[in-house]
Amino acid sequence: MADGQIAAEGRTVSPSGDVVLAVRDLMVTFPTAGGPLRAVRGAGYTLRRGECLGIVGESGSGKSVSAAAVLGLLSKDARVEGSVQVGGREVLTMEQKELQAMRGSVVSMIFQEPSRSFDPIYSIGKTFEETFRAKDRTVTPEESRKRAVQLLSEVHIPRAEERLKNFPHQFSGGMLQRIMIALALSNNPEILIADEPTTALDVTIQAQIAALLRELQRSRQLSLIFISHDLGLVGQVADRILVMYGGIVLEVGPTRDVLTTPHSPYTRALLRALPAWGSHYTREELYTIRGNVPDPTRPEPGCPFAPRCALVREECRQAIPPLRASRAEDGERTYRCVVEGAKA
Amino acid sequence: MSGDRVRSAPPLLRLSEVRKVFKLEAGLFAAAGRYVWAVNGVSLDIARGETYGLVGESGSGKTTLARTIVQLVPHTAGSIRFFPASGEEESWEIGADDAETLRRFRAQVKYVFQDPSSSLDPRMSIYRILTAGARYAPGGSRSQSLLPRAREVIEAVGLRESDLERRPSEFSGGQRQRISLARALYGNPSALICDEVVSALDVSIQGQILNLLVQLKRQFNLTILFIAHDLTVVSYMADRIGVLYGGSLMEEAPAASFVGRPLHPYSQLLYMSIPRFDVAPPERAANVGTAFNATREPAGCPFSGRCPLVQEICRTDKPALRELAPGHRVACHFVG
Could you read off the pLDDT of A19-47 as tens digits, one per residue? Answer: 999 999 999 999 988 889 999 998 999 99
Domain spanning B3-277+287-330: which CATH class is it, in words?
Answer: alpha beta
Ordered per-residue pLDDT tens for chain B, 336 residues: 443 444 567 899 999 999 999 988 777 776 777 889 999 999 999 999 999 999 998 889 999 999 999 999 999 999 999 999 887 789 999 998 999 999 999 999 999 988 877 889 999 999 999 998 888 776 656 666 889 999 999 999 999 999 999 999 888 888 999 999 999 999 999 999 999 999 888 888 899 999 999 999 999 999 999 999 999 999 999 999 999 999 999 999 999 999 999 999 999 999 988 888 776 655 544 455 677 888 888 899 999 998 989 999 999 999 999 999 999 999 999 998
Work out the angle at residue B114's Cα, subtended by the Cα atoms of residues B112 and B115, and round it to the nearest 5 degrees: 110
**Distance (Å, whole) CA B334 – CA B260:** 20
Predicted local confidence at residue A11, as pLDDT: 35
Closest C-alpha to B282, from A268, A203, A32, A173: A203
Quick check: helix, strand or coil at residue A333? strand
Q: Are strands A52-56 and A223-228 parallel, antiparallel or unpaired?
A: parallel
Q: Is A202 on the interface with B (CB under 8 A)?
A: yes
The per-residue pLDDT for range A231-249, each reduced to its tens digit, is 989 998 999 999 999 999 9
Contact A293, B204 (CB under 8 A): yes
One-letter amino acid at A42 equals G
* B146 Cβ contact list (under 8 Å, min separation 6): B131, B134, B135
> Which sign does the torsion angle of CA A295, A301, A304, A310 carry?
negative
**The pTM of the whole model exceeds 0.95:** no
Please, which residues 163-182 of chain A have a Cβ atom closer than 8 Å to chain B?
172
Is A269 within 8 Å of B237 when comparing Cβ atoms?
no
The burial of B156, by beta-carbon neighbours within 10 Å (0-12 exposed, 13-18 middle, 19 or more buried), is given as: middle
Closest C-alpha to A40, from A59, A58, A65, A11: A65
Contact B306, B290 (CB under 8 A): yes
Quick check: helix, strand or coil at residue A282? coil
Nearest chain A residue to B233, by CA:
A275
ipTM above 0.90 for this complex: no
The per-residue pLDDT for range A46-64, each reduced to its tens digit, is 999 999 999 999 888 999 9
Backbone angles phi, psi at B322, to 5 degrees: -115, 140
Is B270 within 8 Å of A204 when comparing Cβ atoms?
yes
Contact B235, B254 (CB under 8 A): no
Closest C-alpha to B209, from B171, B157, B159: B157
Predicted local confidence at residue B6, as pLDDT: 43
Annotated domain spans of chain B:
3-277+287-330
Q: Is A233 on the interface with B (CB under 8 A)?
A: yes
State the average pLDDT over residues A112-137: 90
**Distance (Å, whole) CA B147 – CA B108:** 21
CB atoms within 10 A of CB B268: 16
